[in-house]
Structure 1
Amino acid sequence: MNIESAASALKELGHQTRLAIYKELVKAGLTGMSVGELQKRIEIPASTLSHHLSALMSVGLIKQERQGRTLFCHSRYEKLEELMAFLVEECCAGVSCPRFEENLTQGNSK
C-alpha cells in the first residue's frame, strides 16, 4: 500500500458514520451483512447509507455481493491488513511498537 491509498482509506474511516458502518461489517465476519440489516443497526436513511457505502467501496475497504434479491456488504479484510501493515511499517519507521505488536498477538483491540 502506498501513502496515497493509505491516506484515502484513513480519510474515509475518519467519518463517524463510515467508521460505524465499517465496524459493523468487520464484526459481521466473512458472511457479511445485508444492506437492510446494516441500515437497521446504523439507523440512517437508505440514501445516506448508500452514499457512505460507495465511499468505502471507492477505497477498497468493502465489497458488495448480490444474493438473490438481497445485497450483502463485506469487509475486505485484506485491505484492512494492508492498511495496518502500512501504519506499522511506514509510520513506525522500523522502530518497534511493542504495545501494538503485543495487542496483535493477543488479539486485543485496545
Structure 2
Amino acid sequence: MQSASVVRALGALAQEHRLAAFRLLVQAGPEGLAAGALAEALDIAPSSLSFHIAQLANAGLVTQRRNGRSILYAADYAAMAMVMGFLTENCCGGAACVPTIDCKPASTTERDVA
C-alpha cells in the first residue's frame, strides 16, 4: 500500500462521526448497514451521514451497494487490513513481536452463536 493511500485513509478516520461510522460498519460485518440505520445509530442527519460516508468511500475504507430502495454500506476489510499492515510492517525492527492480524469478519450466524 502506498503512503498516500494510508494518509487518505487515516485522514478520513480522523473525524469523530466518520470514525464512529467506520467502527459500526466493522462490527456489522460484510452484510453492512442500511444508511438509515447507520444515521440513527450515530444520531446524525442523513445528509451529514452521506457526507461522512463519501469521505470514507473516497479513502477506500467503505463500500456501498443497493438493496432494493436501500443503500447498504460495509467496511472494506481488505483495505482496513492493508492500512494496519502498513502501520505495523516494520514493528520491532522487523522482528516478529506481535501476532499477525488477520481480520476475517464472522458471518451473521457465527456472531449470533457467540
TM-score range, shorter chain: 0.7 to 0.9
Instruction: Give RMSD over aligned pairs.
Output: 1.7
**Per-residue CA distance 1:75-96 (angstroms, 9 max, x = gap):** 1100001001100115655254
Distance in 2, Cα, partners of 1:52 & 1:2: 23
Aligned mates of 1:50, 1:59 — CA distance in 2: 14
Alignment of 1:7 onto 2:7: yes
Q: What is the Cα deviation at residue 67 of structure 1?
A: 0.6
The share of aligned pairs that are identical, in percent, is 35
- Partner in structure 2 of residue 71 of structure 1: 71
SS state at 2:94 partner: coil
Task: Write the distance in 2 (CA, Å) between the matches of 1:8 and 1:96.
Answer: 27
Take 2:63 and 2:18, find their aligned partners in 1: how far apart are those partners? 14
Distance 1:11 1:97 in 2: 27
Q: What amino acid is aligned across from residue 4 of structure 1 in structure 2? A: A
User: Gaps (5+ residues) in structure 1?
Assistant: 106-110
Separation in 1 of the partners of 2:92 and 2:57? 27
Partner of 1:52: 52
Cα pair distance change 1:2/1:36, threshold 3 Å: same
Gaps of 5+ in 2: 103-114
Distance 1:3 1:71 in 2: 30
Q: Any idea what the Cα deviations from partners look like across 1:20-74, whole Å, max 9, x if unmatched?
A: 0000000000110000100110000111100000000001100110011011001
Query: Does residue 23 of the first structure (1) align with residue 23 of the second (2)?
Result: yes
Q: Normalising by structure 1, report the TM-score.
A: 0.85
Judging changes above 3 Å, is the alpha-carbon distance between structure 1 residues 50 and 36 closer, same or farther for their aligned structure 2 residues? same
- Number of residue-to-residue matches in the alignment: 102
Q: Structure 2 length normalisation: TM-score?
A: 0.82
Normalized per residue, which structure has more helix?
Answer: 1
